Amino acid sequence: MDNPFQKPHVLMLRYGLLSILAFIVVFPLVWLALASVRPQNEIFQPVSDFGWNTFIPSRFTLDNYRTLLNGDFPLAVKNSTFVALTTVLFGVVVNALAGFAFAVFDFRGKNLLFLLVIVSFMMPFEAIVLPLYVMIRAFGWANSYQALIVPEIANGMVIFLFRQFFASIPRDFYEAARVDGASWFYIFARIAMPLSWPTIATSGLMLFLAQWDSFFWPVVAASDSAYAVVQVAIARNINFEQNDWGGLFASTNLAILLGTIPFLLIQRFYVRTLISGGIK
Amino acid sequence: MSSMKIDTLRKSFGELEILRGISLDVRHGEFVALVGPSGCGKSTLLRLIAGLEAATSGHIFIDDRDVTRLPPKERDIAMVFQNYALYPHLTVRANMGFSLKLRGDAKDQINKKVEEAAGVLGLEHLLDRYPGQLSGGQRQRVATGRAIVRDPKLFLFDEPLSNLDAKLRVQMRTEIKALHQRLGSTMIYVTHDQIEAMTLADRIVVMQGGRIEQEGAPLDLYDRPANAFVGGFLGSPAMNFIKGTMSDGAVKASDGTRLPVLSEASALDGRHVLWGARPESIVPDDNGFEGTVEVVEPTGPDTQLLVRVAGDPLVVLLRKRMKVNAGDKIRLGVVGEDTHLFDAKDGMRIAL
């Protein structure tokens, strides 16, 4: 790629195009961030009047955030955090166990079951909302944390990820442990899981973001404001009577920032590969 | 120390029959090597003994106890895997103590045993390292150490040296032999390397196509192979074979070349045979049969010649240096009439 003999105008063209692309991607986010620190009445002014004002607020204010923190938003953050972390905790264990079974054991109907797992994540969630809601109602779980957490624990994509990883661990690890007297559960917990930190990190992140970003299911299953999650709280800024644009942008901004924290915490696992070393 | 007995053991994967009725007795403290080409079933046999695969039929006894249906951990065996299978997230100490910890031994007991085994294998200074920080030979030693800390009834080795380079392999081979002499344990060792089998084992079991071709002491097998397969499998360079017909107490090859055999062979006249001679038994002999030298390969201690005799290639290993060039005609004989005769059809040894 980096050919030192490349003609300068080709280089210029390439970087020029890339810059435009980067601008298109980043600009809406920058605008969002800036809008959240503008006074309410100024938010849409720069849209019709594109110029330096678009980027530099005339007056910097944290009013939008202050209002947000005094309202329902902190509760929504708390709800979302609880729901997302609980889902990650149970989801990683449950899906890893399922992936382990698919990778290591031979049992009747294994291929059909695995096919169903794959189908489950190909299928749009909207297709099962209604039956799922009926089921949740029957359990008496409407408007509860269980309703938000339990249906999201088992995740076909995550099972698939774990299966692929566990299948890539040389069988000798499992067999050596069996000869040494380990039970299958011990092998799962002490051999397979400690080797799969990168997969655990990726899956945990996927489960976390799925819950952090989920909107449709919480609206359906837990409409009570006591159980409102972040995305629902964001949407509540807009309603028939009045639109709170400042609140909308500030809450969206916060949701994005909080949502990136887990990613920043675990990104070092993406670089690490633990599998090397034990095998020749 | 323990004995092991296998009784008409069979294993099939669906239609495919991997083991076709294996029976084998292993005495207390014996070192048995299972050898054979890949796909002969030797590894499958070892995995059945370990309990990693279930037998289709037949029985395995360890110390007169039928273990055929028992899971691996109830068989009291230890296995060294081809690629060592050291847990990368555990230190050498934890790797070696893994089975003891599972067994529920006390912590100081585990440490004592691990350090003892580390002493035997020269691993004391590596106990706190991780497998990724070790060289190939060190990993091999840790894998062996993991097996010996348990003091099992039976040691199983599945091609433990095949991942090492040639020089290290020879060194580790000697170490395993010394270890066996020191521990006096019963060991079963799978390898495709016949030199490993020859040097290590008290007894060699040669397998092919899911059957035992021959078993016995290494030199007995070398000197009196039961069939052409065993004769060709043991020894490097391999035994030479030339097809011919018995006539006047010698083997007459297709072009009429007369290959010498023991003098008592005259009773076999007219029979189609496979004449076999080891490369090191063939020497220059002015009264012998004639061949054309095609390749000369000096290796230092000896010289290997490829000679074309009666249209067949014949490998000759000369212990003495000799001036010879490709294209030369050479007359050859066999030292001490050390030749083997096999039936041309079924390859079985013809007793002389």
Task: Dump the DSSP string for B99-138.
Answer: HHHHHT--HHHHHHHHHHHHHHHT-GGGTTS-GGGS-HHH
pLDDT at B248: 81
pLDDT at A223: 84
Amino acid identity of B155?
Answer: F
Query: Are A30 and A81 in the same domain?
Result: no
Final residue belonging to a domain, choices A45, A61, A77: A61
In this structure, are residues B80 and B160 in contact, taking their beta carbons and an 8 Å threshold?
A: yes
pLDDT at A269: 67
Residue B157, burial from CB neighbour count under 10 angstroms (0-12, 13-18, 19+): buried
- Terminal CA-CA length for chain B: 40
**A277: closest chain B residue by CA:** B132
pLDDT at A32 over 60: yes
CA B83 to chain A, closest CA, distance in angstroms equals 5
CB contact under 8 A, B86 and A195: no
In this structure, are residues B93 and B77 in contact, taking their beta carbons and an 8 Å threshold?
A: no
- Cα atoms found within 13 Å of the Cα of residue B247, Cβ hemisphere only: 11
pLDDT digits (tens, 9 = 90+) for B109-146: 999 999 999 998 889 999 999 999 999 899 999 999 99
Structural domain count, chain A:
2
Write down the domain spans for chain B: 4-233, 240-343
CA B197 to chain A, closest CA, distance in angstroms equals 22
Query: Are A54 and A89 in the same domain?
Result: no
pLDDT digits (tens, 9 = 90+) for B327-342: 999 999 998 768 899 9
pLDDT at A48: 62
Residues of chain B found within 8 Å of residue A274, distances taken between Cβ atoms: 88-89
CA A155 to chain B, closest CA, distance in angstroms equals 27
pLDDT at B338: 80
Q: What is the CATH number of the domain that holds A244?
A: 1.10.3720.10
pLDDT at A272: 53
Query: Are A119 and A32 in the same domain?
Result: no
- Please give the DSSP secondary-structure letter assigned to residue A49: S
Query: Are A194 and A226 in the same domain?
Result: yes
Query: Are A236 and A136 in the same domain?
Result: yes
pLDDT digits (tens, 9 = 90+) for B3-48: 999 999 999 998 899 999 999 999 999 999 999 999 899 999 999 9
**How many angstroms separate the Cα of A143 from the Cα of each of A128, A236, B104, B252?**
18, 17, 47, 97
Which element (helix H / strand E) includes A74? helix A73-104
Residues in chain A: 280
Fold of the CATH domain B4-233: Rossmann fold (3.40.50)
Host domain of residue A210: 67-271
CB contact under 8 A, A279 and B85: yes
pLDDT digits (tens, 9 = 90+) for B242-263: 999 988 888 889 888 888 887 6
**Where does the pLDDT of residue A52 fall: very low under 50, low under 70, confident under 90, or very high at 90 and above?**
low
If you average pLDDT over every residue of chain A, what do you get? 86
- Give the count of beta carbons closer than 10 Å to the beta carbon of residue B146: 29
- Phi, psi dihedral angles at B132 (to 5 degrees): -60, -20
Whole-angstrom Cα distance, residue B62 to residue B186? Answer: 11
**B31-35 vs B187-191, strand pairing mode:** parallel
Answer whether residue A250 is part of any domain.
yes
Answer whether residue A104 is part of any domain.
yes
Whole-angstrom Cα distance, residue B142 to residue B126? Answer: 9
Whole-angstrom Cα distance, residue B281 to residue B237? Answer: 12
pLDDT digits (tens, 9 = 90+) for B187-245: 999 999 999 999 999 999 999 999 999 999 999 999 999 999 999 999 989 999 999 99
CA A191 to chain B, closest CA, distance in angstroms equals 7
Final residue belonging to a domain, choices A27, A45, A61: A61
pLDDT digits (tens, 9 = 90+) for B275-303: 999 999 999 998 889 999 999 999 888 99
- What residues pair up with B17 in beta bridges, in sequence order? B12
Answer whether residue A3 is part of any domain.
no
Query: Are A47 and A93 in the same domain?
Result: no
**B154-158 vs B187-191, strand pairing mode:** parallel
pLDDT digits (tens, 9 = 90+) for A159-196: 999 999 999 998 999 999 999 989 999 999 999 999 88
Amino acid identity of B239?
Answer: M
Of B85, B150, B163, the CB nearest to A176: B85
CA A179 to chain B, closest CA, distance in angstroms equals 5
Whole-angstrom Cα distance, residue A202 to residue A275? Answer: 16
CB contact under 8 A, A278 and B51: no
The three state secondary structure string of A158-205 is HHHHHHHHHHHCCHHHHHHHHHCCCCHHHHHHHHHHHHCHHHHHHHHH
pLDDT at B337: 67
Query: Are A156 and A224 in the same domain?
Result: yes
Q: Is A156 left (phi over 0), alpha (psi -120 to 50) or beta?
A: alpha
pLDDT at A255: 92
Residue B138 sits at the chain A interface (C-beta within 8 Å): no
Final residue belonging to a domain, choices A61, A81, A97: A61
In this structure, are residues B341 and B265 in contact, taking their beta carbons and an 8 Å threshold?
A: yes
Query: Are A29 and A84 in the same domain?
Result: no
- What residues pair up with B293 in beta bridges, in sequence order? B307
Whole-angstrom Cα distance, residue B186 to residue A62? Answer: 79
**Where does the pLDDT of residue A17 fall: very low under 50, low under 70, confident under 90, or very high at 90 and above?**
very high
**CB pairs A-B closer than 8 Å:** 82
CB contact under 8 A, A191 and B83: no
CB contact under 8 A, B52 and A175: yes
Task: Spell out the residues 6+ positions from residue A215 whose beta carbon is closer than 8 angstroms to its own.
Answer: A231, A232, A235
**Where does the pLDDT of residue A58 fall: very low under 50, low under 70, confident under 90, or very high at 90 and above?**
confident
pLDDT at B1 over 60: no
Whole-angstrom Cα distance, residue A33 to residue A52? Answer: 16
Query: Are A72 and A158 in the same domain?
Result: yes
Answer whether residue A279 is part of any domain.
no
What are A's interface residues with B at a Cβ cutoff of 8 A? 170, 172-173, 175-182, 186, 191, 194-195, 274-280
**Where does the pLDDT of residue A263 fall: very low under 50, low under 70, confident under 90, or very high at 90 and above?**
confident
Query: Are A161 and A243 in the same domain?
Result: yes
In this structure, are residues B281 and B335 in contact, taking their beta carbons and an 8 Å threshold?
A: yes
A62: its two tokens = 């944290």
Query: Are A208 and A82 in the same domain?
Result: yes
CATH of domain B240-343: 2.40.50.140
Q: Mapping DSSP to helix (H, G, I), strand (E, B) and coil, where does residue B11 land?
A: strand
pLDDT digits (tens, 9 = 90+) for A128-154: 899 999 999 999 998 999 999 999 999
Task: Spell out the residues 6+ positions from residue B37 whose beta carbon is closer than 8 angstroms to its own.
Answer: B192, B208, B233
Q: Is B275 left (phi over 0), alpha (psi -120 to 50) or beta?
A: beta
Query: Are A29 and A153 in the same domain?
Result: no
Cis peptide before B237 (omega within 30 of 0): yes
Q: Mapping DSSP to helix (H, G, I), strand (E, B) and coil, where does residue A241 land?
A: coil
pLDDT at A222: 86
Amino acid identity of B59?
Answer: H
